[in-house]
Structure 1
């Protein structure tokens, strides 16, 4: 149960008709369940990804088709809203500012995983890594560190991929 000592974490699934969905972690602020912080890997499989922190993100005004899926609770000590809220406007950056973001930054963002058609690798199968695989890795790190309950892995492993 959320309170002064715990905070909710959600998976945001941004649905797309023709491609895999984009996934992000959403940490709602204490005062407004629609306003908070997003943590995700931004980029593409051709050029690679970068871990990005979205601050003062309003999930209610995104305009993109999405679902919010509850992942679990974390101790409030991992989240420092004061250091991440700034002047209240939505911003993005790549610099971790609290413990939960330190964990996110410790998980390497996927590099390029698509080969050019002229590649000499033949028919060797390549694992495509993306925002979904990165977020699964991030949640695994949080579970292994005891920050998030094991049940979160079941939630993320059964989340919609499209």
Structure 2
């Protein structure tokens, strides 16, 4: 059974939007896992998996955009008691691929609008998923056409 993988775009004020991959638990609903890098250009970024993340509890403006489908066997849901958690340990194939895509390091000029950020990492991650055969190439176009800045409501 195919599972949908989404681009999650979160408002970050006037700065570039935060982008991550989202896979709902059981392929539907607002709860699931987020695969992303967190940090900033001044300190650098690190990979993080947010498990049991629930969009119903988010207070930031966001959009979820379908990127494509992956085979169910490549996704491990973390349900447990449903408590949200964060870690850096890969538990399935999609997370394992994320561990080999290096996050952006510290920028020599963190105020440069072209400094690498989470959007650059997500682009590399999605390209790697396509290259490895987990996602269709159309996911790259979806990502390239996604909002780079998401205004708050």
Give the TM-score of the pair, scaled to structure 1.
0.86
**Partner residue, 1:129:** 116
2:95 paired residue among 91, 98, 101: 101
Q: Which residue of 2 aligns with 1:121?
A: none
Secondary structure at the aligned position of 1:30 is classed as helix
2:55 — aligned with what?
59
C-alpha contact 2:51 2:85 (8 A) present in aligned 1:
yes
Residue in structure 2 matched with residue 144 of structure 1 by the alignment = 131
The runs of at least 4 aligned residues of structure 1 exceeding 4 Å deviation read: none
Contact 1:113-1:127 within 8 A present in 2 as well:
no
Residue 6 of structure 2 is matched in structure 1 by 10
Q: Which 10-residue stretch deviates more, 23-32 or 34-43?
A: 23-32
Match of 1:77 among 73, 76, 79: 73
1:105 deviates by: 0.8
Q: Work out which of the two has the higher radius of gyration on C-alpha atoms and give 1 or 2.
A: 1
Aligned partners of 2:110, 2:61: CA distance in 1, in Å? 31
Partner of 1:158: 145
Give secondary structure in 1 for the equivalent of 2:36: strand
1:31 is displaced (CA, Å) by: 6.5
Secondary structure of the structure 1 residue equivalent to 2:124: helix
SS in 1 for 2:135: coil
Partners in 2 of 1:53 and 1:100 — Cα distance? Answer: 11
Give the CA RMSD over aligned residues.
1.8
Q: How far, CA to CA, are the matches of 1:94 and 1:126 in structure 2?
A: 28
Gaps of 5+ in 1: 118-124
Q: 1:116 to 1:16 in 2, by over 3 A?
A: closer
